[in-house]
Amino acid sequence: MPITELLSKNAELYGEEKCLTEINLDLQEKHHVIWREYELIENNPAGEYRCEMTWRVFDEKANRLANLLLKRGIKKGDKVAILLMNCLEWLPIYFGILKAGAIAVPLNFRYTAEEIRYCLGLSEASALIFGPEFIGRMEVIFDQIPQIKTLFFAGENRPSFAENYDRLTANCSSDTPKIKLTDDDDAVIYFSSGTTGFPKAILHTHRSLMSSCLTEQKHHGQTREDNFLCIPPLYHTGAKMHWFGSLLSGSKAVLLRGIKPEWILKTVSEEKITIVWLLVPWAQDILDAIESGAVKLEDYELAQWRLMHIGAQPVPPSLIRRWKKYFPNHQYDTNYGLSESIGPGCVHLGVENIHKVGAIGVPGYNWEAKIVDEHRSPVAQGEVGELAVKGPGVMKCYYNDPQATAAVLKDGCLFTGDMARMDKDGFIYLVDRKKDVIISGGENIYPVQIEDFLRAHEAIKDVAVIGLPDKRLGEIAAAIIELKPDHECTENGIETFCAALPRYKRPRAIIFDQVPRNPTGKIEKPRLREKYGATSLVAAQTEIDTIINKD
């Protein structure tokens, strides 16, 4: 059934129960609260706020937006983009788009103005809902996106080129629109990029979304008594698809704006959180804060916290051993997935398999996986090949890109581009990536984008960007820079030049050296990784295997 029916069901069964809570513990962020009709608590000098929503209000808000879109001529299959920071209104907007029969297009809040413009065009979006944090970027491009016929602003101090989302939806019916949806109807477009950094538009159906609900709930056993803490951005498949387990079970969730260890623990304690999904750096920060004495576990009520799981990047076994030292009763899981596989869960470790930490796991619920050679034939057990997955959450296609689709989809299988091996027990280990994408703190960094930017510097002859190992972030971007003859430049000069890049794309290490290229002109990045100690996943996996065998 379409995923929108789950929301309608929960509104009918649990209408007056709280389903979503937004919490912000940062004084500087306090006045970013937009929607004042919820129960808003501003009762302490630290400037904390907490606002809540019931299942009934959630459903009604989704219906109001759906009816507004229909009134504005949005038809079934039209695309409506979302450009918002995490907030209480995000999910009702997402579901309102789906209830109208339209296709939701979440945009990365890190996108530059040009990236926003590009993705709106790539997805053929005809409407956009954006928040106050994006006024500056939208001012740059609003007259360059003629395909956007409807532009709604959700917040205070509305810019003149957009309409008032709050006022318009308040005047619309809260009844469910009479739009017939099926499992095979298109539902969402997410964005992913290859090593070039150019986004691909990934199209999923309602069947994909429902499959992620079932997979998540099966893996982590959400019940009505659970409360899920959601910290990562909702534009991404990871956070949202983990929340889908709460949707399916009719249980509560909390959106926390902020990642400080004390904020996470305070929220877990006061909101009686039972499930937390973390990225590696956040788990690392919590452990470091405990060991430094910056936070004291006895100050918090954590007995109800039953599950911590991690995704988005390889997880060091040493991190989990440290975690279990302080949280010995926690269940633990690792989740692997791609936006093309509707996010996490096509492969997962499983809470019962903590002895296999280091593996990404086994095929998830309703999923199949195999490892193949360059001819896409299965390799022998233990040999390295490309990981391919098959299941109900595989994307329909790359939107309007049949060539790219054909390169990764065949007979219902998604060829991931990740190199892996399988042990004798059927557990899958990542060993390398075909792509040169750097995963830093769970965010993908595309070296070519940074290289192209740096080549505009007048002193730079050539540049290569590679990932170097980092204890906290997993990897950091390092720029190897070859200067032009008779030109000079310093690290400070490069850092100043890179200030025009988004912060997460700026190189964390700058090295002046020659950039080796092969006879065909391609940069020989393996030589650079070897020279500068960039621990490949192959070497990392050997270390993991040694640790496991010793244990």
Report the pLDDT value the prediction gives residue 439, as an integer from 0 to 100. Answer: 83
Strand 103-106, strand 150-153: pairing: unpaired
pLDDT at residue 544 in the model: 36
**Which amino acid is present at 384?**
V
- Residue 418's pLDDT is 85
Q: Largest alpha-carbon pair distance within the chain? A: 74
Tell me which residue has tokens 């009934």: 56
Separation of alpha carbons 343 and 237, rounded Å: 5
User: Locate tokens 């029969």: which residue?
Assistant: 101
What DSSP string runs through 120-178? HHHHT--EEEE-GGGHHHHHHHGGG-TT--EEEE-SSS--TTSEEHHHHHHTS--SPP-
Burial degree of 454 (CB within 10 A; 0-12, 13-18, 19+): buried
For residue range 502-519, list pLDDT tens digits in order.
888 999 999 999 998 754
Q: What tokens appear for 40 in the block?
A: 């808003």
- The per-residue pLDDT for 519 is 46
Q: How many CA atoms lie within 13 A of 148 on its CB side?
A: 27
Q: Under a CB-based contact definition with an 8 Å cutoff, are residues 534 and 467 in contact? A: yes
Query: What span, in angstroms and rounded, lies between the C-alpha atoms of 51 and 21?
Result: 6
List, for the chain, all residue ranges whose pLDDT scores fall below the cut of 70. Answer: 27-48, 193-197, 313-314, 432-435, 518-522, 534-551
Inter-helix orientation angle 261-270/280-292, to 10°: 90
**Residues 472, 443, 340, 311, Cα dihedral to 10°:** 30
pLDDT at residue 35, as a whole number: 39
Q: Decide if 200 contacts 193 (C-beta within 8 A).
A: yes
Per-residue model confidence (pLDDT) at position 28: 43
Query: So what's the pLDDT on residue 482?
Result: 92
Integer CA distances (angstroms), 30 to 44, 50, 477, in order: 12, 10, 33
pLDDT value, residue 48: 61
Which of 115, 125, 123, 119 lies closest to 146 in space, CA to CA?
125
Cα separation, 312 vs 276, in Å, equals 14
Spatial strand order of the sheet with 474-483 comes to 460-470, 474-483, 509-512
Give the start-end residues of each E strand in 471-531: 474-483, 509-512
Angle (nearest 5°) at CA 459 between 456 and 462 = 70
Note whether 346 and 363 are within 8 A (CB).
yes
Q: Which residue(s) pair with 412 in the sheet?
A: none
CA 164, CA 201: separation in Å to the nearest integer? 28
Q: What share of the chain is helix, strand, coil (3-state, %, to 5)?
A: 35, 30, 35
- Alpha-carbon distance 542 to 540, whole Å? 5
Supply the pLDDT for residue 313.
67
In angstroms, the CA 151 to CA 127 distance is 6
Q: Residue for token digits 């290859």?
A: 194
In the chain, the amino acid numbered 63 is N
Query: In the prediction, which pLDDT does 235 show?
Result: 92
- Please identify which residue in the block is written with the tokens 């450009």: 83
Residue ranges and CATH numbers for the domains of the chain are 4-258 (3.40.50.12780), 307-435 (2.30.38.10), 438-541 (3.30.300.30)
Alpha-helical segments (H) within 431-481: 447-454
Q: In this predicted structure, what is the pLDDT of residue 318?
A: 79
The amino acid at residue 234 is L
81/87 Cα distance (integer angstroms): 16
Give just the sign of the alpha carbon dihedral 302, 305, 311, 313.
positive
3-state SS string over 61-126? HHHHHHHHHHHCCCCCCCEEEEECCCCCCHHHHHHHHHHCCCEEEECCCCCCHHHHHHHHHHHCCC
- Exposed (0-12), middle (13-18) or buried (19+): which is 29, by Cβ within 10 Å? middle
pLDDT of residue 433: 61
Q: Which residues of 419-429 are buried (b: 16+ CB within 10 A; e: fewer)?
A: bbbbeeeebbb
Q: Give the pLDDT score at 43.
A: 44
Helix (H) or strand (E) holding 465: strand 460-470
Q: Check if the beta carbon of residue 348 is closer than 8 Å to that of residue 357.
A: no
DSSP bridge pairs for 258: none
DSSP secondary-structure letter at 379? P
